[in-house]
């Protein structure tokens, strides 16, 4: 995963384009375009270009992350091994 430097007064955050964000998230450009079209991901319009603020995307990922829930699996749901077939 690419580490993106935190912005400072001397080094403002670099906005990412579709290709850079798709590489960072390991996702397709097509899927990112759909997320923008559905307004499901934060983005910035610079003229007619769509750009992404890495910090906003990072917060969006944290806010939309699903926590892993560990639930016990009932014994009846586990696959049973079959006896060998008789010929």
Q: Cβ neighbours of residue 53 under 8 Å, at least 6 residues apart?
A: 13, 15, 16, 42, 44
Angle between helices 54-64 and 18-25 (to 10 degrees): 40
The answer to whether residue 78 sits within a structural domain is: no
The answer to whether residue 69 sits within a structural domain is: no
The answer to whether residue 12 sits within a structural domain is: no
Alpha carbon distances (Å) from 12 to 2, 55, 60, 62, 82: 17, 11, 20, 22, 62
Q: What is the pLDDT of residues 6-21, one digit of tens each?
A: 555 555 679 999 999 9
The answer to whether residue 76 sits within a structural domain is: no
Say how many domains are in the chain: 1
Domain that holds residue 32: 18-63
The answer to whether residue 29 sits within a structural domain is: yes
The answer to whether residue 80 sits within a structural domain is: no
The answer to whether residue 13 sits within a structural domain is: no
The pTM of the full predicted model, rounded to 2 decimals, is 0.64
Q: What is the pLDDT of residues 33-85, one digit of tens each?
A: 999 999 999 999 999 999 999 999 999 999 988 766 666 666 666 666 676 77
pLDDT of residue 55: 95
Residue 21 CB neighbours (<10 A):
22
């Amino acid at each position: 995963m690419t580490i993106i430097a935190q912005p400072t007064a001397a080094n403002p955050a670099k906005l990412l384009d579709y290709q850079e964000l798709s590489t960072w998230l390991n996702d397709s450009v097509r899927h990112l375009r759909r997320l923008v079209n559905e307004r499901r991901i934060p983005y910035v319009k610079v003229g007619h270009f769509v750009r992404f603020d890495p910090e906003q995307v990072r917060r969006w990922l944290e806010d939309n992350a699903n926590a892993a829930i560990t639930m016990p699996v009932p014994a009846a749901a586990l696959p049973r091994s079959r006896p060998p077939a008789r010929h």
